[in-house]
Amino acid sequence: MARLTGVIIITSVYSYAYNKRKVRLCMVSGKHTDNRIKKNCPMLDKPESGVKCVITNDRFDCLRKVGEELSDLTVLGPEDLAAAASSREFNILVTNELKFFPEEKYQYQIIALFRTTSGIQDLRDVRGKKFCHPGYESAIDWTPVLATYFENTIIEKECDPNKTLIENRVAAASKFFGAACMPGPWTTDTNLDSKLKSRYRNLCAICDNPAGCYSDDKYHGRIGAVMCLADGIGDVAWVRIADAQEYFRTQGINKGDYRYLCYDGTTRSMQTEEPCPWIAKPWPVVVTNSNQNEKVFNLMMTLDTQNVPWHGALVRLLENYHLAQINRDDSGTPGDYLRRVPGFLSANTHTPCKPSRTIQWCVSSNVEQRKCMWLRQALSVYGDEPNLSCIARTSRMACMEAVTQQEAELFVIRPDEELVAKQKGLKRVVHVFTNKIEDVNKVAAVVRRDSKINNLEQLRGLKACFTGYQTIGWNAFVSIMRNMSGSNWDPLDIKAVSNFFKESCVPGLKENSFKIHTFPSNLYSLCKEGAEYKDETSAFRCLVNGGGDVAFISPDTVKKNTGNQNQQTWAHGLKGSDFKPICFKESDPDSCFLTWTTLGSVMVNQNISSIRFEEIYSTLLEMDQLFGKTYNGQTPAFLLYGSYDGNHSIIFPKQTQHLQSDISHVHLDRSYVQIIEDLITNPPQSSARKLHFDLLQLCLMCIVLSIINRVMNQ
Ligand SMILES: *[C@@H]1O[C@H](CO)[C@@H](O)[C@H](O)[C@H]1NC(C)=O
Ligand SMILES: *[C@@H]1O[C@H](CO)[C@@H](O)[C@H](O)[C@H]1NC(C)=O
Ligand SMILES: *[C@@H]1O[C@H](CO)[C@@H](O)[C@H](O)[C@H]1NC(C)=O
Ligand SMILES: *[C@@H]1O[C@H](CO)[C@@H](O)[C@H](O)[C@H]1NC(C)=O
Ligand SMILES: *[C@@H]1O[C@H](CO)[C@@H](O)[C@H](O)[C@H]1NC(C)=O
Q: Ligand 2 pocket, 560 CB below 6 A?
A: no
Question: Among 88-92, 425-429, 644-648, whose mean pLDDT is lowest?
Answer: 88-92
Phi, psi at 388, each rounded to 5°: -115, 155
Give me ligand 5 centre to Cα 193, in Å: 41
Minimal-distance CA residue to ligand 3 atom 2: 607
The H-or-E segment that residue 421 falls in is helix 418-423
Is 478 or 350 the better-scoring residue by pLDDT?
A: 478
Mutate to test the pocket of ligand 5, among 647, 648, 654 (most ligand atoms within 8 A of CB): 647
Output the average pLDDT for the chain.
Answer: 89
Indicate which atom in ligand 3 lies nearest the CA of residue 605: 13
pLDDT of residue 326: 67
Q: Once rounded to an integer, what is the mean pLDDT over residues 634-640?
A: 93
pLDDT of residue 9: 44
Minimal-distance CA residue to ligand 2 atom 8: 352
- Strand order of the sheet with strand 23-28? 51-56, 23-28, 73-76, 285-289, 92-99, 322-325
Q: Once rounded to an integer, what is the mean pLDDT over residues 451-474?
A: 93
Minimal-distance CA residue to ligand 5 atom 1: 647
pLDDT of residue 1: 44
Q: Ligand 5 pocket, 366 CB below 6 A?
A: no
Give me ligand 5 centre to Cα 107, in Å: 39
* C-alpha closest to that of 385 among 415, 403, 412, 359: 359
> 364 Cβ partners below 8 Å, 6+ apart?
392, 393, 394, 395, 396, 398, 399
Q: In the chain, what is the straight-line distance between the N-terminal and C-terminal CA atoms, in Å? A: 92
Distance CA 310, CA 9 (A): 31
Mutate to test the pocket of ligand 3, among 428, 607, 613 (most ligand atoms within 8 A of CB): 607
Q: Once rounded to an integer, what is the mean pLDDT over residues 32-49?
A: 92
Give the start-end residues of each E strand in 313-453: 322-325, 359-363, 388-392, 410-413, 426-433, 441-448
Q: Once rounded to an integer, what is the mean pLDDT over residues 495-511?
A: 89
Return the SS3 of 443: strand
Distance CA 418, CA 470 (A): 10
Return the SS3 of 269: strand
Return the SS3 of 634: coil
Give me ligand 4 centre to Cα 181, in Å: 51
What does the DSSP 8-state code read for residue 551? E
Q: Once rounded to an integer, what is the mean pLDDT over residues 8-12?
A: 43
pLDDT of residue 149: 96
The DSSP bridge pattern shows strands 503-505 and 267-269 to be unpaired
% of residues, the chain, pLDDT over 70:
90
CA distances (Å), origin 224, targets 129, 133, 247, 489: 18, 8, 10, 67
> Does residue 60 have a pLDDT over 60?
yes
Phi, psi at 204, each rounded to 5°: -115, 0
> Does residue 117 have a pLDDT over 80?
yes
Distance CA 183, CA 357 (A): 26
Helix/strand/coil (H/E/C) assignment for every residue in 456-487: HHHHCCCEEECCCCCCHHHHHHHHHHHHHHHH
Q: Ligand 5 pocket, 70 CB below 6 A?
A: no
Mutate to test the pocket of ligand 2, among 358, 373, 380 (most ligand atoms within 8 A of CB): 358
Distance CA 658, CA 515 (A): 44
Indicate which atom in ligand 3 lies nearest the CA of residue 424: 13
Give me ligand 2 centre to Cα 409, in Å: 15
Cα angle vertex 590, ends 589, 595, to 5°?
A: 125
Cα angle vertex 141, ends 200, 158, to 5°?
A: 30
Distance CA 161, CA 611 (A): 8
* C-alpha closest to that of 244 among 285, 273, 275, 267: 275
Distance CA 182, CA 205 (A): 9
Question: What amino acid is encoded at 594 in this protein?
Answer: L
What does the DSSP 8-state code read for residue 351? P
**How do residues 662-712 score in pLDDT, each as one tens digit?**
888 888 889 999 999 999 988 877 655 554 444 445 444 545 555 555 555
Give the start-end residues of each E strand in 100-249: 108-115, 130-132, 179-181, 236-240
**How do residues 224-283 score in pLDDT, each as one tens digit?**
999 999 999 999 999 999 999 999 999 999 999 999 999 999 999 999 999 999 999 999
> Does residue 320 have a pLDDT over 70?
no
Around ligand 3, the residues with Cβ closer than 6 Å are: 404, 425, 605-607
> Does residue 318 have a pLDDT over 90?
no
pLDDT of residue 514: 57
Alpha-carbon dihedral 186, 187, 189, 191, rounded to 10 degrees:
-20
Beta carbons within 10 angstroms of residue 504's beta carbon: 26
Is residue 87 very low, low, confident or very high in pLDDT (cuts 50, 70, 90)? confident
* Angle formed by the axes of helices 165-176 and 610-627, nearest 10°: 100
Minimal-distance CA residue to ligand 4 atom 5: 484
Q: Once rounded to an integer, what is the mean pLDDT over residues 542-564?
A: 93
Q: Ligand 4 pocket, 417 CB below 6 A?
A: no
Phi, psi at 535, each rounded to 5°: -135, 170
pLDDT of residue 2: 47
- Judged by its nearest atom, the ligand closest to the C-alpha of residue 372 is 2
Instruction: State the chain's maximal CA–CA distance in angstroms.
Output: 110
Indicate which atom in ligand 4 lies nearest the CA of residue 674: 13
Our measurement of the distance from residue 14's CA atom to the centroid of its chain's CA atoms, rounded to an integer in Å, reads 43
- Asked if 287 and 95 touch (Cβ cutoff 8 Å), the reply is yes
Give me ligand 1 centre to Cα 409, in Å: 22
Give me ligand 2 centre to Cα 669, in Å: 44
Cα angle vertex 334, ends 329, 338, to 5°?
A: 85
Minimal-distance CA residue to ligand 1 atom 6: 162
- Judged by its nearest atom, the ligand closest to the C-alpha of residue 165 is 2
- Asked if 643 and 654 touch (Cβ cutoff 8 Å), the reply is yes
Beta carbons within 10 angstroms of residue 454's beta carbon: 12
> Does residue 10 have a pLDDT over 60?
no
Give me ligand 4 centre to Cα 416, in Å: 21
Is residue 546 very low, low, confident or very high in pLDDT (cuts 50, 70, 90)? confident
> Does residue 50 have a pLDDT over 70?
yes
Q: Once rounded to an integer, what is the mean pLDDT over residues 425-449?
A: 92
Is residue 8 very low, low, confident or very high in pLDDT (cuts 50, 70, 90)? very low
Q: Once rounded to an integer, what is the mean pLDDT over residues 76-85?
A: 93
* C-alpha closest to that of 446 among 341, 312, 347, 576: 576
**How do residues 351-398 score in pLDDT, each as one tens digit?**
899 889 999 999 999 999 999 999 999 999 999 889 999 999 999 999
Question: What amino acid is encoded at 348 in this protein?
Answer: N
